[in-house]
Amino acid sequence: MALLGLSTLTHKQDVDAMIRDTLDKVLVLRFGRATDPLCMQLDETLGKSSRELSKFASIALVDVDAQEIQVYLHYFDITLIPATVFFFNSQHMKMDSGTPDHTKWIGAFHSKQDFIDVVETIYKGAMRGKLIVNCPLPADRVPKFELLYKDI
């Protein structure tokens, strides 16, 4: 998605470097496929808001079909795409949006402003030392999904 100004990462070391070297900024990683329609919708939202958020957020796309990325899919337990994961200073940030999974945002955003609000909330929480923040969006704008967990 170079057209939107966002880089697509397919190697583990690129993702590692991105996470480790983004300092004092929120890092937004979208895990998905460029050909999936919902991913494309989300990518457009991310691309359009990347400039407004450039002062305190960096955005990148990660291709879930790459071999080296599978370790991340396992670590974050990603089964639905698009899945957006947030980081701050190499720490994984969680968000409680009323969904079964607080570790990532699943689905697209309703509007550009929603995404900006979410990133702003995460940034504010991270600067105050919070590892988990409350989602500022109302429940009807949060995509619904169901997950079945199994204990290992």
Name the residues that contact another protein, by CB under 8 A: 12, 15-16, 19-21, 23-24, 33, 36-39, 64, 67, 70-82, 88-93, 96, 102-103, 106-107, 125-134, 143-152
Cβ 76 to another protein, closest distance in Å?
A: 5
CA-CA distance, 136 to 143, in Å (whole number)? 14
Cβ 7 to another protein, closest distance in Å?
A: 16
Cβ 101 to another protein, closest distance in Å?
A: 8
Judged by beta carbon, residue 13 or residue 51, the one nearer another protein is 13
Cβ 17 to another protein, closest distance in Å?
A: 9
Judged by beta carbon, residue 2 or residue 148, the one nearer another protein is 148
Work out whether the CA dihedral 14, 82, 28, 122 comes out positive or negative: negative
- What backbone torsions phi and psi does residue 107 show, to the nearest 5 degrees? 105, -175
Cα dist from 19 to 55, 79, 114, 146, 151, whole Å? 17, 21, 23, 28, 29
Judged by beta carbon, residue 100 or residue 138, the one nearer another protein is 100
- 83: nearest Cα among 67, 91, 50, 74: 74
